[in-house]
């Protein structure tokens, strides 16, 4: 094996079956074959997003849509809810797009408090809010229902939700929660190779986009909606990845969305229990932990890079040694995608072996 199996939180391991599904005969994207392929993805995507809206397919990483959502919805002033590397970066991206942007910033490892968001929005002037559900850098699962409720109580304020590492691990209930954009990359919890993002836009979000100038072309929501109505995409999409998506959605349907969530809860708990056994403290607060990955604090004096290196060299398994400013002081283990109790147990046995336990 030239490369280790990935247990780092994205990209994650891609199954042979997924790759096989992706290597079907190439088809053109303007025609019935593609339209049937595209249409076949919609019911499954709508189920995991919890929406009756079309779910658009973007040939980009998640950031393309994260930036695009701002360019489609924001008018002047953006509020970014920041609690880790990805959510903090969104503030930077909003400014780079030319918007006035402010943050509700909490310590990395903490969750966003909806009441703090309410107080900040009450200052007035914000037309768009960015929010990350599962902050992959810290392993925190933020309060989606609570944040949506607060933002929705401010009229004409758009809410953009990144569910990159939570999609399919817990219900998103996009329509019920009232999110205006929900987006995810496919290389995290859906266990596809990187290169594609999925997103849905509320009716209010589409209405807003129509009034916003300079949306650009590649991520123009109006273009996406126009093409989606004919089961198509504005530009040539990564057709092989859509074959893979079709396969994964079939697997989710076979497993059942409920059992899939239960599997993630169970495998996530296995890693937390493994950590507890070895005295590794969780970085995220209890009750606000992601079900897709686990972030541990590196104990004083623990040789983290040696641990990761030995696990990789001896067992061909790769975990992650922390991200952004908590690189080294934390480490992360993914249980996203296709991992089962059996494959997580293999990882646990290998980690125990390396620790000499």
> Footprint of ligand PLP on this chain (CB under 6 A)?
10, 61-63, 86, 132, 136, 162, 164-165, 185, 188
CB of 339 to ligand PLP, least distance (A): 16
- Give the closest residue to 38 by CA, choosing from 252, 338, 260, 241: 241
Could you tell me how far CA 214 lies from the centroid of its own chain?
Answer: 27
Q: Which is nearer to ligand PLP, 188 or 263 (CB)?
A: 188
Q: Which is nearer to ligand PLP, 136 or 202 (CB)?
A: 136
Q: Which is nearer to ligand PLP, 10 or 234 (CB)?
A: 10
CB of 200 to ligand PLP, least distance (A): 16
Is residue 244 within 8 A of residue 264, CB to CB? The reply is no
For the chain, helix, strand, coil in percent to 5 are: 45, 15, 40
Alpha-carbon distance values, 126 to 6, 102, 116, 214, 224 (Å): 40, 9, 14, 19, 26
Q: Which is nearer to ligand PLP, 86 or 199 (CB)?
A: 86
CB of 139 to ligand PLP, least distance (A): 11
Phi and psi at 227, nearest 5°, equal -70, -40
- CA atoms lying within 13 Å on the CB side of residue 37: 27
What does 178-240 look like in DSSP terms, one character per residue? T-SEEEEETTSTT-PPSS-EEEEE-HHHHHHHHH-S---STT-HHHHHHHHTTT--SS---HH
CB of 313 to ligand PLP, least distance (A): 26
- Partners of 110 in beta bridges: 108
First to last CA, the chain: 26
CA–CA gap between residue 2 and residue 301 (Å, rounded): 31
**Length of the chain, please?**
357
Q: Which is nearer to ligand PLP, 188 or 260 (CB)?
A: 188
CB of 277 to ligand PLP, least distance (A): 27
CB of 293 to ligand PLP, least distance (A): 9
CB of 233 to ligand PLP, least distance (A): 18
CB of 31 to ligand PLP, least distance (A): 29
Paired tokens of 268? 């996530």
Dihedral (Cα; 62, 68, 69, 75), 10-degree rounding: 150
- Partners of 318 in beta bridges: 6
CA–CA gap between residue 5 and residue 1 (Å, rounded): 9
Phi and psi at 82, nearest 5°, equal -115, 125
């Amino acid at each position: 094996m030239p490369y280790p199996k990935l247990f780092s939180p994205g990209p994650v391991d891609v199954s042979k079956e997924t790759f096989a599904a992706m290597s079907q005969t190439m088809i053109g994207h303007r025609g019935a074959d593609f339209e049937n392929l595209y249409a076949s993805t919609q019911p499954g995507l709508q189920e995991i997003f919890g929406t009756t809206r079309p779910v658009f397919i973007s040939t980009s990483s998640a950031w393309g849509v994260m930036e695009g959502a701002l360019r489609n919805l924001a008018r002047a002033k953006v509020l970014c809810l920041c609690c880790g590397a990805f959510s903090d970066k969104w503030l930077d991206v909003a400014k780079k797009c030319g918007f006035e942007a402010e943050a509700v910033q909490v310590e990395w490892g903490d969750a966003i408090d909806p009441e703090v968001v309410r107080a900040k929005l009450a200052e007035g002037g914000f037309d768009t809010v960015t929010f990350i559900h599962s902050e992959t850098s810290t392993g925190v699962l933020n309060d989606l229902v609570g944040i949506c409720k607060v933002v929705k109580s401010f009229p004409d304020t758009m809410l953009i939700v990144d569910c990159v590492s939570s999609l399919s691990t817990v219900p998103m209930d996009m329509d019920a929660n009232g999110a205006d954009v929900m987006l995810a990359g496919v290389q995290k919890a859906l266990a596809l190779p990187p290169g594609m993002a999925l997103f849905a836009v509320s009716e209010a979000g589409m209405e807003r986009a129509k009034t916003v100038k300079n949306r650009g072309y590649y991520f123009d929501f109006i273009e996406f909606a126009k093409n989606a109505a004919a089961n198509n995409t504005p530009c040539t999409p990564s057709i092989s990845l859509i074959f893979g998506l079709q396969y994964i959605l079939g697997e989710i349907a076979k497993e059942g969305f409920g059992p899939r969530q239960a599997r993630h809860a169970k495998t996530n708990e296995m890693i937390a229990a493994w950590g507890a056994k070895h005295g590794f403290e969780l970085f995220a607060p209890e009750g606000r932990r992601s079900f897709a990955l686990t972030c541990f604090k590196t104990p004083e004096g623990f040789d983290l890079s040696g641990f990761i290196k030995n696990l990789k060299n001896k067992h061909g398994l790769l975990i992650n040694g922390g991200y952004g400013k908590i690189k080294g002081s934390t480490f992360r283990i993914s249980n996203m995608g296709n991992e089962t109790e059996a494959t997580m147990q293999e990882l646990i046995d290998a980690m125990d072996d390396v620790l000499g336990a």
